[in-house]
Amino acid sequence: MGGFGFLSLASLAFSALAIPIFLLYMLRLRRTDMPISSTFLWQQLVRDREANAPWQRLRLNWLLFLQLLILAVLVLALARPYQEVETITRGRIVLLLDASASMNATDLNGQTRFAEAQKIALDTINTLGEDDTMTVIRVGEVPEVLAAATRDRTVLRRAIREATPSVGKADWPAALTLAASGSLGVDELQVVVLSDGGLPDDLPVVPGEVLFVKVGESDSNVGITVLSVRQLPDQPPQMFAQLENFSTQGSRVILELRLDGEFYNSQFYTIPAGDVLNIVEADLPENFTKLEARLSPPSNASTPDYLRIDDVAYAVHAEAATGNVLLITEGNIFLEELFENLTGINLTVSTPEQGILRGDYDLIVFDSWLPNELPTKEDIFIINPTTSTNLFAVSGESTDTAIDPITGGVSIEDERTRFLDFSSVAIRNFQVLEDVSWADFLVETENGDPLVLAGEFEGQQVAILTFALSNSNLPLQIQWPILVANLMDWYRPQRAINVISLAPAEPIAIRPTVPADTVVIRKPNGERIRFTLDESPEVFFADTAALGFYDIEILLDGDIVQTDSFAVNLFDRAESNIRPIDTLTLQGSGGETVIRSTTGEETGRRELWRYFVYIGLIILGIEWWYYHRSRNRKIKPKAPFLQGTESEKARRWWAIRPSRR
C-alpha cells in the first residue's frame, strides 16, 4: 500500500465554485409579488432590517453545507486522486489467461487456480492507468480473444469474470502468436502469462516484455492417463489402464469400473510418488460397449488429489469385426502375407487342386485360377482371370499396359481407390475382359481396358485384378496393401468413425457406411445435435469440449440404421502433472529466454475518483431529501380563534372578557 496523490491537481481550482454558491445563498432571491391584506404580522415575523438589501447575512444552513460538501467531493474527483498500489505491469498489456485442464486444480484453499488467475487479472485491471489498454486472451484448446485492446474496465472485468476453464490442453504457441499479432504498431507490449505450467518448451518469442505469473502451489494429483479396451479374436475383452501419481508422496486410490453404467469392480491401489501403475483387466464380459473408470481417494487418504477431471476416464468397446476369407492359390507369398496381417481376418488357404473348401466364408479369393462354376453366395475377389465366366468374358491377353501418367489411371471419387496411385506401377500383360458392364473400372489403361474393376453382381460383391501379381511390380509397392485394404473396407463395412477416443475439442469425422440422411450426436450432457447429410458423405463434429461418452445415431428416413460411440478423455500427462512451474522458457533467434515468475513489482496507481463521485451522489440524494422534507413538512393546523373545543373558547373569551357593567 503506497501513498496518495492527484493526477490533475489543476482541477482543484474548481473549488473556487464555492464562492458563487456562497453568493447565491447571500443574494436575495427574486421573489414573486403577492398582495396581502396586511404585512403587519409578517413584518413582525421576519424582523430583518436587511430584508430589502441585495445581500443577507449568511446563516447556518444545512443545504449550503451539503452543497459545499458535494462541491468538495466533485472537485476532489476531478483532481483524479489515486492510491499507489503494487501491480504486475502497466501500459499496453496482453493478458494470457491459462484455461487448460490443470487450472481446475483446487489446491488454493479449495479455490481453483483459474479463479485465482481471474482474481489476479481483476486486480491488474484495477491498477490500470487511464491510458493503459489490455487485451485478454483465454488460452484453451483454441485461444480466444475475450477483450481486444480496450481501456474499458467494465468490458475487461466482464470478459474475465465470464471466462471458464476448459478440460483440455491449452494451445500456447497459437496463443502467443495471437498475442504477438497485437504488437503491431505498439512500442512497449507487455505480455502477461497467468499460468501454472504445462507449457511446451519451444514457445515462440513474442515482441515486447513477457511477464509470467505463477498460479498454484501443490503437485498432489493422481490421474488416469490411459484407458482402453480391446478384444483379440476368440478372446474376452481386455481393459488396459494407466494410473500415474504426479505428487512427491505415495498415494492410495480406489479404482472403480463401470460397464454400461453398471458397477463392475473396484480395487485399492497404492502408487508410489512419481510412479506409474499399469493395470490390465483381462477378463471383461463380452457384451458391453462403454467402460467408465473412476478414481477416488479412500476415506483415510493422507494425500489430497487436487485435480478431479483426470480421475475419470471413458473407453468404448469396439467389437472386432471379423471375416472368414478363403484364398485359393498355387502359392503367392504376397497374398498370404497381406491377408494374414489384415486385422479381423480369419484366413484359410487352399490350392486349385483342393478347390473351394467346405466352410462358412465371407470372401473367396481366386488367384490365377477359377472353378468351373463361381460361388453364388460369397463375395469374390479374382486375380488374373484366365477363363471366361458368367461374370465376364476373357478375350485375350494384352501388353498395352500404358497408364495415363497424369491421372495414374485411377478412377477418382471412388472410395475403393482412396490414396491409390498406379502411375509407378509396371505391368507386363493383363487379361482383356469384356461383358463387365456391372462393374466400375477402378484402374484402367490409356486404352480404357480395365486393370482393376469392382461391382455388385446379383447381390455378390465382386472385384477383379486383371493381371497376375507375378507379372507386375505392384506387390512391391505401397499401392498393393492400400488397394487390398480399400477393397476389404468395401467388402466388409467398417465403423462410421475411425477413432473411439479423442482429446477434448478434437474434431472427429463421422462417415456413415450405409445409406443415411441424418446423423444425430448425443453429448455427455444429453444434448442432441442433428446433422443432415446433403452432399457431403461425412460430418465433422468438433463440439467435443466435454469429457464423457458421445453416442452417434445414423438415420435413414427416420430409422436408425447404424449406431456408434466414442469417448473424450483428458489423457494428457502435461495437464495431469499439476506441479506449478517457476520459470517460463521461450525459444527465439537470440537463444533461449528464461522468464521467472513475477509478483507485483511495478507501482500502479489505483484511481479513486469513482468513489468520490459515488459519495457526491449520495450527498446529493441526502440534500434532495432534506430539501423536500423541509418543504413538505406537515404542521398541525391551528384552530381558528372562534372554533375549537368549548374549553378553548372559554379560555380565550372569558379570560379577556371585562367585568359586566
- Which residues contribute to the site for other proteins (CB under 8 A)? 28-46, 51-52, 630-635, 637-638, 640-643, 652-661
Smaller CB separation from other proteins, 39 or 267: 39
Shortest distance in whole angstroms from residue 57 CB to other proteins: 14
Shortest distance in whole angstroms from residue 618 CB to other proteins: 25
Smaller CB separation from other proteins, 52 or 299: 52
Shortest distance in whole angstroms from residue 641 CB to other proteins: 5
Shortest distance in whole angstroms from residue 10 CB to other proteins: 37
- DSSP element (H, E) containing 648: helix 646-655
Shortest distance in whole angstroms from residue 35 CB to other proteins: 5
- DSSP element (H, E) containing 93: strand 92-98
Shortest distance in whole angstroms from residue 64 CB to other proteins: 14
Under 8 Å between Cβ of 162 and 122: no
Smaller CB separation from other proteins, 60 or 642: 642
* CA proximity to 151, closest of 183, 128, 182: 128
Under 8 Å between Cβ of 462 and 382: yes
Smaller CB separation from other proteins, 536 or 659: 659
What is the CB neighbour count within 10 angstroms for residue 300?
Answer: 6
Shortest distance in whole angstroms from residue 20 CB to other proteins: 19
Smaller CB separation from other proteins, 498 or 630: 630
Shortest distance in whole angstroms from residue 58 CB to other proteins: 15
* CA proximity to 586, closest of 208, 138, 129: 208
Rounded Cα distance between 599 and 189, Å, is 18
Smaller CB separation from other proteins, 33 or 413: 33
Rounded Cα distance between 585 and 200, Å, is 9
Shortest distance in whole angstroms from residue 69 CB to other proteins: 23
In the chain the first and final C-alpha atoms are separated, in Å, by: 92
Smaller CB separation from other proteins, 258 or 652: 652
Smaller CB separation from other proteins, 263 or 625: 625
Shortest distance in whole angstroms from residue 619 CB to other proteins: 22
Q: In what order do the strands lie in the sheet with 189-195?
A: 144-150, 133-139, 92-98, 189-195, 209-214
Judge residue 536's burial from the number of C-beta atoms within 10 Å of its C-beta, 0-12 exposed, 13-18 middle, 19 or more buried. exposed
Under 8 Å between Cβ of 297 and 223: no
3-state secondary structure of 564: strand
Smaller CB separation from other proteins, 358 or 634: 634
Smaller CB separation from other proteins, 45 or 280: 45
Shortest distance in whole angstroms from residue 606 CB to other proteins: 45
Strand partners, 325: 347, 363
Q: What are phi and psi of 469, to 5 degrees?
A: -60, -30
Smaller CB separation from other proteins, 611 or 627: 627
What is the CB neighbour count within 10 angstroms for residue 180?
Answer: 17
Rounded Cα distance between 263 and 255, Å, is 11
Q: Where would I find the beta strands (DSSP E) of 112-235?
A: 133-139, 144-150, 189-195, 203-204, 209-214, 222-230
Rounded Cα distance between 221 and 107, Å, is 10
Smaller CB separation from other proteins, 48 or 275: 48
Shortest distance in whole angstroms from residue 19 CB to other proteins: 22
Under 8 Å between Cβ of 169 and 100: yes
Smaller CB separation from other proteins, 358 or 661: 661
Rounded Cα distance between 34 and 313, Å, is 89
Smaller CB separation from other proteins, 3 or 35: 35
Judge residue 659's burial from the number of C-beta atoms within 10 Å of its C-beta, 0-12 exposed, 13-18 middle, 19 or more buried. exposed
* CA proximity to 319, closest of 249, 440, 439, 230: 230
Rounded Cα distance between 463 and 170, Å, is 47
Q: What are phi and psi of 102, to 5 degrees?
A: -65, -20
Shortest distance in whole angstroms from residue 633 CB to other proteins: 4
Rounded Cα distance between 33 and 8, Å, is 47
3-state secondary structure of 187: coil
Shortest distance in whole angstroms from residue 26 CB to other proteins: 14
